Amino acid sequence: MFFNKYPNVFLHTGDAAAALTHHFPAAVDIFLLSPPYDTVTEEYKTLLKKTRQYEEGYTWDFCELANAMWNSLTEGGVIIWNIDDRHFHNSETSTPERQKLYFQDVLGAKVETIIVRQEGVGAKGANDLYWQGFEYIYLFSKGKKLRFNPIEDKVNSQAGRITSGERPQYNGDKRIAKNRTIPQYSKRTNVWVVSPQPRNTNGHPAPMDLTLAKDLLYSFADQGCVICDPMLGSGTSAVAALEVFGPDVHFWGIDSSEKYVQAAAQRIEALELGELYDPNPERPQEKQTVSIRDHFMHPIDGTQDDLSDLPVQQWVTRGGI
């Protein structure tokens, strides 16, 4: 299924592993997906049994899909895997960890983790434990990942302060660092906070958070990348790709359910694009007075200059200078 106003967006109904194997060998730069969690309808035995069965009779073969995605991934590409754990018979299933180890130990992926903390989730999880408040984002890269565009929205409480002095290098030697003004914002940590927001589910039971999807694509994809979601669902990943990279984005979505492919198509057709998404705060230049008393140290003896009456008028650009 193609779209006139988005010529490089294509939706396909069918088996994802087969479609990737036949049509996209070593051609996808970024996979973004949120596979079904452990909503099993039969007794949980092990993650890597041949077929997992989910609600409404849906089944999928984890190993087959993982292998197909890995073979379709370009060198330096990344699989972004949003997953959560479930409790079964008074224990975590450890499905996320097992999947991570399969990608790492069997397929040879390099692995990084982002923890997504969910605010306002309410009662979620087992009654005899604290409510579940986070999910995992695993980044499975083929070799060294080629793209990283950090989001800098972490507010620095010491913004405007001037630092200097010696800082150790990896080889153990010392170097004299230049004076540095702490910026207003810096790179966020690998623990992200997601606030509840209205979600266009189109009847899907577990849509991905749109802001989360956009932040992930902004961070690990670039304009011109081929992006694929082999478990398209309600089409959140497609909407995110269009809002981050615009109408010329290269996106391929696959789902075994014709119902969800049609729902995703309706959502894409109804999308009206504005300015491209940028999660970084605005960084206007503003004039600040910064006292460098207590921050300027002699690199040799460590003593301080007497700068008690010396203010410094300077331009400080938010986000770094």
Q: Tens of pLDDT along 172-189?
A: 666 665 677 888 899 999
Q: Are residues 134 and 221 in the same domain?
A: yes
pLDDT band at 297 (very low <50, low <70, confident <90, very high): very low
Q: Are residues 41 and 90 in the same domain?
A: yes
* Of 169, 284, 217, nearest in space to 31 by CA: 217
Q: Are residues 146 and 159 in the same domain?
A: no
Residue 54 lies in a domain: yes
Question: What global pTM score does this model have?
Answer: 0.78
**Residues near 97 by Cβ (< 8 Å), separated by ≥ 6?**
none
Percentage with pLDDT > 90 across the chain: 49
Residue 259 lies in a domain: yes
Q: Are residues 212 and 295 in the same domain?
A: no
Q: Are residues 163 and 299 in the same domain?
A: yes
Residue 224 has pLDDT above 70, yes or no: yes
64-86 in b/e burial notation, b at 16+ Cβ within 10 A? bbbbbbbbbbbeebbbbbbbbbb
Residue 276 lies in a domain: no
Residue 223 lies in a domain: yes
Residue 303 has pLDDT above 70, yes or no: no
Q: Are residues 62 and 158 in the same domain?
A: no
Q: Are residues 77 and 132 in the same domain?
A: yes
pLDDT of 153: 92
Q: Are residues 209 and 109 in the same domain?
A: yes
Residue 297 lies in a domain: yes
Q: Are residues 108 and 34 in the same domain?
A: yes
CATH number of the structural domain spanning residue 103: 3.40.50.150
61-98 tens-digit pLDDT: 899 999 999 999 999 999 999 998 877 777 888 889 99
pLDDT band at 4 (very low <50, low <70, confident <90, very high): confident
Residue 126 lies in a domain: yes
CA-to-CA dists, residue 137 to 40, 174, 180, angstroms: 21, 37, 33
Residue 310 has pLDDT above 50, yes or no: no
Q: Are residues 60 and 129 in the same domain?
A: yes
Please give the angle made by the CA atoms of 27, 28 and 33, to the nearest 5 degrees: 155
pLDDT band at 208 (very low <50, low <70, confident <90, very high): confident
Q: Are residues 202 and 159 in the same domain?
A: no
Better-scored residue on pLDDT, 199 or 157: 157
Residue 206 lies in a domain: yes
6-50 tens-digit pLDDT: 999 999 999 999 999 988 888 999 999 999 866 443 433 444 444
pLDDT of 320: 35
Range of the domain at 177: 154-186+284-317
pLDDT of 107: 97
Most confident of 103-112, 262-271, 293-302: 103-112
CA dihedral 102, 109, 256, 135 (to 10 degrees): 80
If you average pLDDT over residues 151-168, what whole number do you get? 80
Residue 202 lies in a domain: yes
pLDDT of 86: 77
Q: Are residues 288 and 224 in the same domain?
A: no
Average pLDDT value for the chain? 79
If you average pLDDT over residues 279-307, what whole number do you get? 46
107-149 tens-digit pLDDT: 999 999 999 998 766 666 667 778 778 899 999 999 999 999 9
If you average pLDDT over residues 194-214, what whole number do you get? 74
Count the domains in the chain.
2
Distance of CA 180 to the CA centre of its chain: 30
